[in-house]
Every structure is written in C-alpha cells, then in structure tokens.
Structure 1
Amino acid sequence: MVERNSEDGRPRGREKFGGFNWGAAFFGWLVATAVSVLLLALVSAIGGPIAGSSFNSGQQAASAAGTIGIVAGIVFLLVLALAYYAGGYVAGRMSRFDGGRQGLGVWIIGLVITILLAVAGALLGSQFNVLSQLSLPTIPNAGSLGIGALVTLVLVLVVTVLAAMAGGKAGRRYHRRVDHAIDA
C-alpha cells in the first residue's frame, strides 16, 4: 500500500522525489529530437517525389508555391507536435511525479538549444555556410517574410509547448494507475 499524506492524500514521496527532473527532461528532449528527425526524413522521402511529379512545368510549381508552403508548414507543425509529445511522454514516464512539468522541461531544453544554435549561426556567419556554395534558388524578397514568419514562430512555440506538456501528463498516467492498483 502506498503511504499517503494525511492533509492532501498525495503519495508521501512527492516531497522528496517530486519537482523538476533535469535528467528526465534531457532524455525526453533527445527523444523529441530523434522523433522529429525520423519523421521529417519520412515525410521528405514520401512528399518529395509526390510534389515533384505533381507539376508538369516550373510555371505550375511557381503558381502553387503558396499552397505548397502552407501544406509544408502544417506538416512541419504536426511533426514537431508529435515529436514533442513523444519527448514529453518519455520525460513524464521517467519521473515519478509532475509529468506536465517534465514535458515543459523538454520544451525549455529544446528552446534553449535552438537559441544557442541560432546565436552560433549568427556569430559564425557565412564562414561555415555550406549552402551558399551550392547553386540553390533563394527567397525572392526576404523582407516579405516578416508577418508570416512571426505567426509561424508563435504557432510552433504554442503547439510544441502544449504537446510536450500533454505528453508529460500522459507519461505520468502510468504511475497514477500503479498507485491506484496498489491502493485497491
């Protein structure tokens, strides 16, 4: 039988083992990163040939660029949501308590690492820019990306934090079921 506190009925170990667990959040972030890489590779392998064979000319592809961009953005958002849900689930499952908090930790670690990589990219500049050496098409007017990029950023942040916290709560559910089974 699980020992419970008399005042709130929660398991006693919560004071000692509850709270934020950096190890669980880190491994959850690793899972989120791995799942996003695998899902993006799968989506690219499936979507690339389909999109490439859908248009007979470059003119058709150019006229459908807006639709292609919106669909790609939605798919990217879904992939990130699934990845952060999986990462939050792992963190919540690794922790005994506070699954939502562990999911939030996964998201925070991902955000901090993304910011660090962006800063490193800005500081190193074009010194290590391999893509500039390739003859790839560029964005016609980078200034027109302002509002769309901001909306996309906010959407990605909100969806991923909610997915990570929901995954953490789902991972914590296992421990709650065990507690109920022991109490019964």
Structure 2
Amino acid sequence: MVQQYGDTATMTEPDNDATTTARYEEARAAAHRAMSNVTIIPDQPLTPTGAMEPVEDPELLAYRGFKFGAAFFGWLIAIAMSVVLSIAVAAAALGTAEILDYTRADAEAQPGATAITAAAVSVVVATLAFYSGGYVAGRLARFDGGRQGFGVWMFAFLFAVLAAGTGALLNNQYDLLADVNRPDVSLTTDTLTTGGIVATAALLLLTLLFAIVGGKAGRRYHDKIDRLLEQQF
C-alpha cells in the first residue's frame, strides 16, 4: 500500500488481519473464475469500446442455419394438422347446422356471408396448422427456429405451385373441370375474383407469419434448457 504525505511517498505493508486477507482471497478467486471463462484470440477485432466481439463456438456453428429435414417434417405435420382441423371444423359445422336447422337453401340465400365464413375458417385452420408445423421444425433443429418455420412455409408453397401447375397441364390436356358439377353461386365474377385475391393474400401472409412464430416458439424450449444448464455450471 502506498501512502503519500506532501512530497514524499511511503510504502506500508498490507494489513494482516483475517478480514482483509479473506476479502483479498475472495476477490482473487472471483477474478480467476471470470478469466477462466474468457477465450482470447489474438486476431479478434475489437469493438469501438475496446471490448472483444463474442466468439461463436465453431462446433455450434455446424448445427446452425436452415435444416432441410426439420423443415420437411414440419411441413408434414402442418399438412396432417390441416386435415385433422378441417375434419373437426366440418364435424362442428354439421352439428351446428343440424341443431339450428340450417339448410343448403339458407346458405344459397346468403352467398356472400357463406363465402366469407368459409374463407375465414379455412385461413384460420391453415394458420394453426402452419404454426404447429413451424413449432415442430424449431424443436427438431434446435437452432434458428425462424428459419425452420420459413422452410416449412416454403415447402408448402413449392408443392402448391407444383400441384397447381400439374393440375393446369392435366386440365389443358383432358378438360377435367368440364366434368365437375359446380354449384350455381349468385355472385358476380368481379366479387368472386376480389374475394379470392384477398383470401389468398391473407392465407399466404398469415401462414408465413405463424410458421416463423411457431419455429421460434419451438426453439425457446431448448433455450430454457440451456439457461438451466448454465445456472448449474
């Protein structure tokens, strides 16, 4: 310890009492624990404040990024959930119509309300299904849940485009739509076109959003485990 009086400095010996020694040893042990968790890389660039950038574990980097398998199985789950939810909604609708004595004639008398209700229910079912698929993909991949959810949506989009292209090609060759018995809906072509565009846009945006949110929710499961492990060690 250095003490300065006026123009002279004197060196004094540190206190030797038990309290000071214990505090010194405790501070030294804390500093040693803090330094043992720091990895020093000579070529690591410094931030403007002088602190080193956090270093990502090279072994963990191999597990990050988009995972094809996780997104694919998440897409399968989304398809399965859409089928299950559609069956449940159809059963509930039939039961409600039976109780309220709601017939097909009643639906045809109000085509606009019927079409809006059907489109809204379809969008909700697809949104929940894609949230489930994104959640499963995020759980499987462990890292980057948002990317896995986006991958689930991309799988669905690509398969939908492929199916639509195949259907258009087959219809061009064999005129399959001519054999379909389509109901006579008392709505104008402009109304049907506008409603179809709005429903398609809502379907694409909501399924994409909820697939990404579901993927991030699936990753949070692993984040909780990591935090518990860090607290233990």
> If the length of structure 1 is used for normalisation, what is the TM-score?
0.85
TM-superposed deviation, 1:8: 3.0
Q: Distance in 1 between matches of 2:83 and 2:114?
A: 21
Residue 221 of structure 2 corresponds to 174
Residue 16 of structure 1 corresponds to 62
Contact 1:14 1:97 in 2 (8 A): no
Residue 47 of structure 2 corresponds to none
SS in 2 for 1:137: coil
Deviations, residues 67-97 of structure 1 (Å, cap 9, x unaligned): 1211111111111111000000000000121
Contact 1:99 1:171 in 2 (8 A): yes
Residues 1-184 of structure 1: pairs in structure 2 closer than 5 A: 7-8=53-54, 13-51=59-97, 54-55=101-102, 58=105, 60-125=106-171, 127=174, 129=176, 132-133=178-179, 135-139=181-185, 141-184=188-231
Q: Distance in 1 between matches of 2:150 and 2:133?
A: 10
Write 1 or 2 for the structure with the bigger share of helix. 1
Deviations, residues 137-164 of structure 1 (Å, cap 9, x unaligned): 2445545422211111110011000110
TM-superposed deviation, 1:51: 3.4
**Range that drifts further, 31-40 or 140-149:** 140-149
Do the aligned partners of residues 143 and 170 (structure 1) sit closer, same or farther apart at CA in structure 2, a change above 3 Å counting? Answer: same
Question: Which protein has greater RCO, CA pairs closer than 8 Å, 6+ apart?
Answer: 1
Runs of at least 4 residues of structure 1 off by over 4 A?
3-6, 9-12, 138-143
Contact 2:72 2:152 in 1 (8 A): yes
Q: Distance in 2 between matches of 1:36 and 1:100?
A: 21
TM-superposed deviation, 1:45: 1.9
TM-superposed deviation, 1:57: 7.2
Q: Distance in 2 between matches of 1:19 and 1:4?
A: 26
> If the length of structure 2 is used for normalisation, what is the TM-score?
0.69
TM-superposed deviation, 1:62: 2.2
Kindly provide the amino acid, as one letter, of the partner of residue 94 in structure 1: L
TM-superposed deviation, 1:42: 1.4
Contact 1:4 1:12 in 2 (8 A): no
Aligned length, in residue pairs: 180
Where does the alignment leave 5 or more consecutive residues of structure 2 unmatched?
Answer: 1-36, 40-51
Q: Distance in 2 between matches of 1:44 and 1:132?
A: 27
**Range that drifts further, 40-49 or 22-31:** 40-49
TM-superposed deviation, 1:66: 1.4
Deviations, residues 82-128 of structure 1 (Å, cap 9, x unaligned): 10000000000001210011000000000000000000000000638
Kindly provide the amino acid, as one letter, of the partner of residue 74 in structure 2: G
Contact 1:4 1:11 in 2 (8 A): no
Q: Distance in 1 between matches of 2:160 and 2:148?
A: 18
Q: Distance in 1 between matches of 2:97 and 2:170?
A: 34
Kindly provide the amino acid, as one letter, of the partner of residue 230 in structure 2: D
Where does the alignment leave 5 or more consecutive residues of structure 1 unmatched?
Answer: none
